Each structure stands twice: as structure tokens, then as C-alpha cells.
Amino acid sequence: MVDELASATALWGAVIFSGFYHGVNPGMGWPLAVSAALMERDPKAMPKALAMLALGHFLAMVGILLPFTLMIMLIEWEVEIRIAAGLLVIAMGIYLLINRRHPKFLARVHPARLALWSFLAAMAHGAGLMLVPIYLGICAIGATETGHLAAQNLMGDNIVTAFAVAAVHTFSMTIAGGVIAVVIYFWLGLKFLSRTWFNLDVVWASSLILVGAFGIYSAYMPH
């Protein structure tokens, strides 16, 4: 019981941390919130932009997690599913390390459609995939029942968990990105941003590989 509680705490902590990590990454959209406030010359445009970015990110997270929720019904294949998910995340990380170019279609999305842009950006950069090994680890805690009915009950519980993970993660991301956007807009200014621009592409891709490896390791841990 103590070990399960510690594991659950660590995994939910990882959900929150990954949210902050995504929020800090400029590729997830906080510069667009600053840009919206500057273009409209109204600070109130910033929270509106952040809300749209959060909506798109949340929908992307749910869109990635729900298919794995349905797969969890196959309880006897739990370890294999978690290993496959880990390998998928590692593959995405390796792909992003090799292909460092940003998807061109993101530049063609109208700036007013921030929710759509955020959804596509999260999908293109594998943001949702980063949550999958963590989410599967949360779902596996306490999942000791067997049988078709138990599997259906577990799947129902895990649909709620998928939305909870996506919501907690997105909230953390919005807080982190919002804080940076506010500081840049009100105090540091765009000149500071242009002088200190940071590129997290390699760190992002490497973190996907690490999370995927963690997912495979955690799948084997109980066995």
C-alpha cells in the first residue's frame, strides 16, 4: 500500500512536472500569447490567448490518451502495451533528433485560431506521447482484478483518469507559460526575448527518449 501510494504520488508529480516543462517550451505557444497582447495593445488579450492555447493542448492530450485507455481493456497484454507505448515515444524522440525542422503546416494556421494551432503543435511535437508512459503507469496501480467485467470497470475508471491527467497537465502548462508571458510582456520586453531566445529542440527530443525508456522500465518493474 505504501509503495503504491509513493508510486502514484511520483507519477502524478511527473504529470505536473511535464506540464510545467511543456509550458516553459516556447514551441507550445506562450510567445503567441505575448504577441496577441502586443498586437491588440491590450493585456486582456493575453489570458484569452492562453485559454485558447490551453484548450488546444488539452484536446491533444485527451486525443492521445483515450486510445490507450481502450487498449487497457486487454489486461493480459498490459505489459506489452506499456512496452509498445514506450518504444513509440522513443521513436518519436529519435525522429525529432534527426529531423530538426519545425512542421511547415503550423506556419499556415491563422494566428486567430490559437486552439487549433496549439492542438496541431502538441501533436506534431509528440507532447501527448510524453504523457502516455506516465498515464499507463497510473492506470496500472492497483489493477489486480481480472476478467472481462473487471476490465470494463477498469477501462471506465481510466477514461476519467485520462481526462484528469490531461486537465492537470494542461493546467500546469498554462501556469508556467502564462507566468513567462506576463513577465516578458510587463517587465522584460521583446528585446530581452530576442537576446535570450532559447531553443529546446534537442532537450525536448531527448526527454521523449528518456520518458519512453522510463515507461519500458516501469512496465517490467512489477514482474
The predicted pLDDT at position 149 comes to 44
**Structural domain spans, the chain:** 2-220
Phi-psi region of 18 (alpha: psi -120 to 50; beta: other; left: phi over 0): alpha
**Which percentage of the chain shows pLDDT scores above 70?**
79
Enter the C-alpha cell of residue 108: 499556415
Query: Chain centroid to CA 218: how far?
Result: 19
Show Cβ contacts of residue 196 under 8 Å, excluding neighbours closer than 6 positions. Answer: none
Query: Chain centroid to CA 185: how far?
Result: 25
Task: Say whether pTM exceeds 0.95.
Answer: no
Q: Can you list the residues of the chain whose pLDDT is less than 50?
A: 146-151, 223
Q: What is the distance between the alpha carbons of residues 13 and 188, in angstroms, rounded to a whole number?
A: 30
